[in-house]
Chain A
Amino acid sequence: MIQASANIINSGTSSRLDIDSFHVTEMSNVLKDPVTSVQLDVSAFRIDPSTIRSFAIENTERIYGQLYLVQDFLNVSSINVLRLLGIAQRNVFIASFQEVEEAIEEAFIRTHYDIVPERTHEDFQSGYKVRMDRVKDRLHEYVDIDLPAVEDGDDW
């Protein structure tokens, strides 16, 4: 097993990334995933997907984070920031404006969150039912009295 260190800065992502080190596992005989496997000489290694995601967040976040900061500071839209930086042409049409905005937002979201399928009424119903089934036999044991609103003075 090879161990390498990675310093991931937590800056308000979808989960707290307190990763001080990560593991790269040798996987010579394991099916190689083109995203998570690395070929070094004759050996292949698998990098933990969460580590890849962490690096993606760190690097992409820097770019989009700066873009958001500039937007905030100048109170302008993303397309104007891109124009300012010389990335977008000055004659970009309004139709493109919306596309750029959406692309930036989409990229920002995808670097911060695991995108999951749409949650349907059935999904919520099954989740709720599982929870209720688990506690239904004990619900009658509760005492549904009205506790008075207590003044405890906060001096404790």
Chain B
Amino acid sequence: MTYSFSPDERLSQGDILRGVKLVVNVHDPEINAPRYDDSHIIVLSRNCEIDKPIKASTGTNSVSVARVIRLIPTSPGLGDIRKNRIVNAFFLPGSEYIEECYVDWRTTQPVDKSNLMVLRSQNGNYKCTVEKEVLEDLFESYFIFFTKPE
């Protein structure tokens, strides 16, 4: 099983949420200006990081996430993404909880933890949680993304 569905649980590593305001692109090289949009995300931070008290002074007010992008029939690289052969992507199969999609490793970024906790508890924003074994595959893919030789 790839996913579990536990809407009453706390925010956890592997949660997939929708409607999270993220940097979806950057422009203007001088100021690295971000362009924001709502997006699906997967929570990458470990649970003990998530559980730490929310304090800006200790940097524990944010959680690392990556964008989860829907696959459509015209998606570039569709076949290779499904076979997990793309270095910067990890494929997530469709299910009753979520459509076929992939994690784009190039989009990893911090987001506000408190907002994520609120979204997690709201109906409609929590989609599902990636199961432990798939999560291990996912982080193996993350390792390869950063370490694959030229």
Q: Which residues of A contact B (CB under 8 A)?
A: 10-16, 128, 131-132, 135, 139, 141-152, 154, 156
Query: Please, how many angstroms separate the alpha-carbon atoms of A82 and B80 in the complex?
Result: 62
Residues of chain A with a CB closer than 8 A to B25's CB = 149
Q: A16-B48, A150-B69 are in contact. Are A144 and B87 (CB under 8 A)?
A: yes
12 contacts between A and B (CB under 8 A): A14-B48, A15-B47, A16-B47, A135-B143, A139-B144, A141-B85, A149-B25, A150-B70, A150-B104, A152-B39, A152-B70, A154-B39
Q: Are A12 and B53 in contact (CB under 8 A)?
A: yes
Q: Is B120 part of the contact surface with A, judged by Cβ < 8 Å?
A: no
Contact among B19, B47, B69, B85 for A142, CB-based, below 8 A: B85
Closest to B57 in A: A72
Q: A13-B48, A131-B143, A151-B24 are in contact. Are A144 and B148 (CB under 8 A)?
A: yes
Q: A12-B53, A13-B48, A152-B70 are in contact. Are A147 and B89 (CB under 8 A)?
A: yes
Residues of chain B with a CB closer than 8 A to A141's CB = 85
Residues of chain B with a CB closer than 8 A to A139's CB = 144, 148-149
Query: Please, how many angstroms separate the alpha-carbon atoms of A152 and B39 in the complex?
Result: 8
Query: Please, how many angstroms separate the alpha-carbon atoms of A121 and B40 in the complex?
Result: 37
Residues of chain B with a CB closer than 8 A to A10's CB = 51
9 closest Cβ pairs, A-B complex: A12-B51, A154-B38, A152-B70, A143-B85, A12-B52, A142-B87, A143-B80, A150-B69, A144-B87
Contact count A vs B, C-beta below 8 Å: 72
Chain A contact residues, majority secondary structure: loop
Q: A143-B77, A145-B77 are in contact. Are A132 and B51 (CB under 8 A)?
A: no
Contact among B24, B48, B70, B88 for A147, CB-based, below 8 A: B88
Q: Is B32 part of the contact surface with A, judged by Cβ < 8 Å?
A: no
Q: Give 1 or 0 for each of B74-116: 1 = CB within 8 Å of chain A CB.
A: 0111001100011111000000000100001000000000000
Q: Is B37 part of the contact surface with A, judged by Cβ < 8 Å?
A: yes
Closest to B60 in A: A12
Query: Please, how many angstroms separate the alpha-carbon atoms of A13 and B46 in the complex?
Result: 12
Query: Please, how many angstroms separate the alpha-carbon atoms of A8 and B54 in the complex?
Result: 21
